Amino acid sequence: MKFQKKIDTFNAIYVCSILLRILLVLVPQTGYIHPDEFFQSVEVLAGKFLDIECSPPWEFNVTFPVRSMTIPYFTIGQSYKSLRYLNSLSELYFQKTILGPYLLLVVPRLLMCLLSFLVDYCLYKICSNNNEKYKSRLVILASSYVMIVYGTRSFSNTVELVLFSTLIYLVCESLTFSNIVLRNREYINFRYDNSKSTAEKAKFHKLRLFIVSDSYRNCFAISTISVMGFFNRPTFLAFAVIPVFFWLYRGLGSKSVTPFQFYRRICVFLLCSIPALLLNILVDSFYYGYITSGEIFMLEVTINSFVFTPLNFLKYNLNADNLAIHGIHPRFLHALVNIPLLFNVLGLCTVYTLGKYLYLCFQKKFNLLPTIRSIKCLMTLSAVVPVAILSIFPHQEPRFLLPVILPLVYLHATTILREPEDTLVEAPKTQIKPDSWKTKPSNSLLTTWLLLNVLLGVLYGFLHQGGVLPATAYLAKDMELASMKTEYHIVTSHIYSIPESFFLQKSSYKLYSRGKTRYSVNKRVFLYEEGSKNLEFILRKLKLILDTRSNPGKRMKLFLLISGSLGEDLMYFSSNRTLKLDLVEQFRPHLSLEAFPDLTTHCLEPLEGFYSSNCLVLTPEKYFKWLFDSFSLNLYQVEEDEVKVLR
Assess if residue 149 is contained within a domain: no
Interval 139-153: pLDDT, tens: 999 999 999 999 999
Q: Are residues 219 and 332 in the same domain?
A: no
Q: Is the dihedral of CA 531, 536, 541, 546 positive or negative?
A: positive
Q: Who's near 37: CB < 8 A, 6+ residues apart?
A: 153, 154, 155
pLDDT digits (tens, 9 = 90+) for 545-562: 988 876 666 789 999 999
Tell which of 255, 272, 289 closes a domain: 272
Q: State the average pLDDT for the chain.
A: 87
User: Do the beta carbons of residue 419 and residue 133 sit within 8 Å?
Assistant: yes
What pLDDT sits at residue 304?
85
| Torsion of Cα atoms, 266 then 270 then 276 then 282, to 10° | 160
Residue where a domain stops, chosen among 272, 307, 342: 272
Phi and psi at residue 364, in whole multiples of 5°?
60, 30
pLDDT at 438: 42
Q: Specify whether 630 is located in the same domain as 548.
A: yes
234 plus 338 within the same structural domain: no
- 53 within a domain of the structure (yes/no): no
pLDDT of residue 389: 95
Domain presence at residue 13: no
Number of domains making up the chain:
3
One domain, residues 412 and 473: no
Residues 642 and 498 in one domain: yes
Range of the domain at 373: 322-416
For residues 382 and 482, membership in a common domain is answered with no
Residue 452, in any domain of the structure: no
Query: Quick one: 512 and 639 in the same domain?
Result: yes
Same domain? For 498 and 619 the reply is yes
For residue 615, the SS3 value is: coil
Contacts 24+ apart (CB under 8 A), 284-287: 284/65, 284/68, 284/69, 284/70, 284/231, 284/308, 284/309, 287/69, 287/73
Does residue 634 share a domain with residue 501? yes
Phi-psi region of 531 (alpha: psi -120 to 50; beta: other; left: phi over 0): left
Q: Are residues 510 and 601 in the same domain?
A: yes
User: Domain ends where: 374, 396, 416?
Assistant: 416
Contact 248, 175 (CB under 8 A): no
Mean pLDDT by 10 residues, the chain (647 residues): 62 92 95 93 92 90 92 94 94 91 96 96 95 93 96 96 97 89 74 78 71 82 97 95 93 75 92 96 93 82 89 87 81 92 93 91 87 90 95 92 96 89 50 44 83 96 95 95 90 94 90 81 91 90 86 83 91 85 94 84 60 65 83 93 59
Query: How much of the chain, in percent, has pLDDT values that exceed 90?
Result: 58
Residues in the chain: 647
Residue 411 lies in a domain: yes
Which pTM value belongs to this model? 0.91
Domain presence at residue 33? no
Distance from C-alpha of 388 to C-alpha of 583, rounded to nearest angstrom: 49
Q: 189, 433 in Cβ contact below 8 A?
A: no
The Cα 575–Cα 8 span in angstroms is 64
Residues 331 and 236 in one domain: no
Q: In this structure, are 265 and 360 located in the same domain?
A: no
Query: Hey, how many other C-beta atoms are within 10 angstroms of the C-beta on 398?
Result: 21
| Model confidence pLDDT, tens digit, residues 79-93 | 999 999 999 999 989
Closest CA to 566 of 613, 632, 508: 632
- 78 located within any domain: no
Angle between helices 236-249 and 375-390 (to 10 degrees): 150
Give domain status of residue 639, yes or no: yes
